[in-house]
């Protein structure tokens, strides 16, 4: 059952990011059990900036821990191609700690010439569902 919910969450995030980023060439990357280097969704067109995302299924009553954000971003830094934009999509709720972590990472990445990171918590994903009612 959890595997089915996880797959549906991935598909929902894929569809929302295709619409939000206006990027129809996004696809699910690999499959469960493979080393995906922190990537669940990627733009197969390879256009710059290369866009990718990671999806994290959490209880909607809790927040995404900053350590989890840092872990996923570290994995994405080691991806075989240089990313331009990386999103973490989660069913967890927003928190100032998570947002502060994203801000800090983005400042560090800007100084190092690395990719920008976006955080899509459940509140933001819900906003996108309202913005794109066909989804």
pLDDT in tens, 54-77: 999 888 889 999 999 999 999 999
Instruction: Identify whether the C-beta of residue 54 lies closer than 8 Å to the C-beta of residue 89.
Output: yes
Residue 111 is predicted with a pLDDT of: 97
What are the distances in angstroms from CA 85 to CA 94, 129, 130?
A: 20, 21, 23
Does the structure show a pLDDT above 60 at 3?
Answer: no
Give the per-residue pLDDT at 77.
95
Over residues 83-131, the pLDDT tens digits come to 999 999 999 999 999 999 999 999 999 999 999 999 999 999 999 999 9
Q: Output the pLDDT for position 96.
A: 96
**Coil vs helix vs strand at 75:** helix
CB 68 within 8 A of CB 105: no
31 has pLDDT over 90: no
Stretch 10-24: mean pLDDT: 95
* Composition of the chain by helix, strand, coil, percent to 5: 45, 20, 40
Number of alpha helices (DSSP H) and beta strands (DSSP E) in the chain: 4, 5
Determine the average pLDDT of the residues in 8-23.
94
Contact between 129 and 16 under an 8 Å Cβ cutoff? The reply is yes
pTM summary value: 0.91
The pLDDT of 12-36, averaged and rounded, is 91
> Quick check: 40 and 54 in contact, CB under 8 A?
yes
State the DSSP code for 87: E
Query: Which domains are seen in the chain, by residue range?
Result: 2-131 (3.40.1350.10)
**Strands 41-43 and 51-56, how do they pair?**
antiparallel
The stretch 17-32 carries a mean pLDDT of 93
């Amino acid at each position: 059952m959890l595997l089915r919910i996880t797959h549906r969450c991935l598909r929902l995030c894929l569809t929302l990011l295709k619409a939000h980023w206006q990027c129809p060439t996004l696809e699910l990357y690999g499959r469960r059990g493979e080393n995906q280097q922190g990537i669940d969704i990627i733009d197969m067109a390879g256009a710059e900036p290369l866009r990718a995302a990671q999806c994290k299924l959490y209880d909607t009553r809790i927040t995404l821990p900053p350590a989890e954000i840092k872990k996923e971003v570290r994995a994405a830094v080691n991806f075989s191609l240089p990313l331009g934009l990386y999103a973490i999509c989660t069913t967890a709720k927003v928190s100032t700690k998570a947002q502060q972590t994203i801000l800090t990472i983005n400042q560090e990445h800007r100084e190092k010439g690395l990719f920008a990171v976006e955080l899509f918590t459940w509140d933001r994903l819900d906003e996108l569902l309202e913005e794109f009612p066909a989804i």
